[in-house]
Amino acid sequence: MTWPTPICHGLAFALMLVVGASARGSCQQRERVPNLDGLASEAAAHLAEYLRINTSNPPGRELEAARFLKTLFEREGIEVMLGAERANVFARLRGNGTERGIALLHHMDVVPADSADWSVPPFGGVIRDGYVYGRGALDMKGDAMVHALAMIALKRSGVPLTRDVVFIGNADEEAGSRGAEIFVARHADLLTNVGFLITEGGFNPAATGVRPPIFGVSVSEKRAVWQRLTVVGTASHGSRPRADNPAARLVTALARLVAYQAPVHVTPAARRYLAAIAPGYEGRQRQWLLDVEHAVHDSAAKEWLLSQPIWNALLRNTMSLTVLQGSVKTNVIPRTATTELDIRVLPDQDVDSILNVLKRVAADSSVHWTDVIAPGLPLGSAWTSLSGSYSTFNPSHDHSA
């Protein structure tokens, strides 16, 4: 079976990173990796099996997934260990230590899936028309198989490494990130000489048979500022409406919040990214992308830029209304109504200031705001460009072993 170019390109990019950055010796040694089509077939088969392990969180049940990954690495002679309880998994290819290591990180849990929303069983690991379908294929078991096959390809090639390449599978990313926290608290020694971490993020335009113009790499991250909004009133019968109906008060405040649009703010990373992809566009759209800081002040340019959901999220703080709870019965006015908001704040913005703005927009002191999860620290990377690196491992070249 011929696999779509996104699969081969993903493997090629992972191999480019770990081989180009880690291999010691001649160019011939660095290119001594297995055929990409063969690796893609292996990755697809392993991914289908991985997707059949239901790690919906809650509750997670990542231990079975961790054991699956452990077996995969053990068959290749790669050292691997499991943590306790829900289990994190850690594997390592050892280098000579002259360079700091690279960590390939994914999370084993997935968000729940309702089979009514799927054309195939969400945990069936269905392979159809050259694609693999299942909950977690994109977030992020597919990444896991790209990471694992990149390491396996390195192991099989026998290429000497100047640095360690490590694989980490974390439990509980979708409901609190406890797996990552426990891993760092208990096993910080395993990361002593790791200098780089590659995980989910970045977007890669691709079309069948066409070399992608870029490989997207996330160099900073918006902070998740999840908030629970609560209004308390007086429980009553639906036949006797009350002015302090908490559901009505909450919905009115939410209408104001949903109508609010945060101002555009161009971060340095967004400016560099949009300018880098500009050559893929023509005419005034290319010019807008090349100079986005000025373009956002032009009404036509701004409308076009913000019409793309990904770019809209890159260029402003965002808020999505996700959970809404009130009464459990049609004829009962609840005592309490709640909602949860998924707020994402740009990395150079102040969280408290943004929340204060949103509270003023809601304009109702009866709405009480609390953290669902505490906002993390700003996350960024000094690794801002891979210019010229593509030629190190070009998927259009033949890299047969």
Q: Mean pLDDT score of the chain, rounded to an integer? A: 86
CA angle 9, 14, 20 (to 5 degrees): 115
Q: Write out the E strands in 123-213.
A: 126-128, 131-133, 165-170, 194-198
CATH of the domain at 271: 3.30.70.360
d(CA 216, CA 306): 19
Residues 144 and 237 in one domain: no
d(CA 60, CA 54): 8
Residue 311 · residue 332 · CB < 8 Å: no
Predicted pLDDT of residue 395: 36
Give domain status of residue 398, yes or no: no
Residue 152 tokens read as 């396996």
The answer to whether residue 199 scores a pLDDT higher than 90 is no
Residue 140 · residue 65 · CB < 8 Å: no
Residues 127 and 10 in one domain: yes
d(CA 171, CA 185): 14
Give domain status of residue 399, yes or no: no
**Is the N-terminal amide bond of 263 cis, ω within 30° of 0?**
no
Residue 205 tokens read as 């335009």
Q: What are phi and psi of 359, to 5 degrees?
A: -65, -35
- HSE-CB at 135 with a 13 A cutoff on CA atoms is 21
Handedness of CA 377, 200, 269, 299 (dihedral sign): negative
Residues 280 and 335 in one domain: yes
How confident is residue 217, by pLDDT bands cut at 50, 70 and 90?
Answer: confident
Give domain status of residue 251, yes or no: yes
How confident is residue 17, by pLDDT bands cut at 50, 70 and 90?
Answer: low
Residue 262 tokens read as 């945060």
Q: What percent of the chain has pLDDT over 70?
A: 82
Residue 85 φ/ψ region, left for φ over 0, alpha for ψ in the -120 to 50 degree band, beta for the rest = left
Residue 316 · residue 262 · CB < 8 Å: yes
> Cα–chain-centroid distance for residue 16?
20
Worst-scoring range by mean pLDDT, 10-19, 91-100, 382-391?
382-391
Instruction: Tell me the pLDDT tens digit for each residue of 137-152.
Output: 999 999 999 999 999 9
Domain residues for the domain of 180 are: 5-217+386-392
Complete edge-to-edge strand list for the sheet that includes strand 318-325: 318-325, 336-345, 223-232, 368-371
Instruction: Tell me the pLDDT tens digit for each residue of 293-329.
Output: 999 999 999 999 999 999 999 999 999 999 999 999 9
Residues 269 and 132 in one domain: no
Predicted pLDDT of residue 5: 42
pLDDT: which is higher, 204 or 92: 92
The answer to whether residue 344 scores a pLDDT higher than 50 is yes
How confident is residue 197, by pLDDT bands cut at 50, 70 and 90?
Answer: confident
The answer to whether residue 222 scores a pLDDT higher than 70 is yes
Residue 201 tokens read as 């993020």
The answer to whether residue 19 scores a pLDDT higher than 60 is no
Predicted pLDDT of residue 175: 82
How far is the CA of 230 from the CAs of 181, 185, 329, in angstroms?
29, 34, 19
Worst-scoring range by mean pLDDT, 29-33, 181-185, 237-241?
29-33
The model's pTM? 0.78
Give domain status of residue 173, yes or no: yes
The answer to whether residue 33 scores a pLDDT higher than 90 is no
Instruction: Tell me the pLDDT tens digit for each residue of 96-108.
Output: 999 999 999 999 9
Residues 23 and 84 in one domain: yes
| Residue with token string 């063969």 | 38
Give domain status of residue 397, yes or no: no
Which of these, 146, 118, 145, lies nearest to 133 by C-alpha position? Answer: 118
Give domain status of residue 162, yes or no: yes
How far is the CA of 71 from the CAs of 50, 105, 137, in angstroms?
12, 18, 20
CATH of the domain at 20: 3.40.630.10
Amino acid at site 98: T
Residues 229 and 199 in one domain: no
Predicted pLDDT of residue 4: 47
Residues 194 and 237 in one domain: no
Residues 203 and 240 in one domain: no
- CB contact set of 129 (below 8 Å; sequence gap of 6+): none
Give domain status of residue 121, yes or no: yes
The answer to whether residue 8 scores a pLDDT higher than 80 is no
| SS3 (DSSP) at 280 | helix
Counted domains in the chain: 2
- CB contact set of 364 (below 8 Å; sequence gap of 6+): 231, 249, 252, 253
Give domain status of residue 249, yes or no: yes
Residues 206 and 234 in one domain: no
Residue 341 tokens read as 């908001």
Residues 205 and 315 in one domain: no
The answer to whether residue 94 scores a pLDDT higher than 60 is yes
Residues 166 and 242 in one domain: no
The answer to whether residue 25 scores a pLDDT higher than 80 is no
Amino acid at site 315: L
Residues 92 and 47 in one domain: yes
Amino acid at site 380: G
Alpha helices in 52-175 (DSSP H): 62-75, 141-157
Predicted pLDDT of residue 83: 87
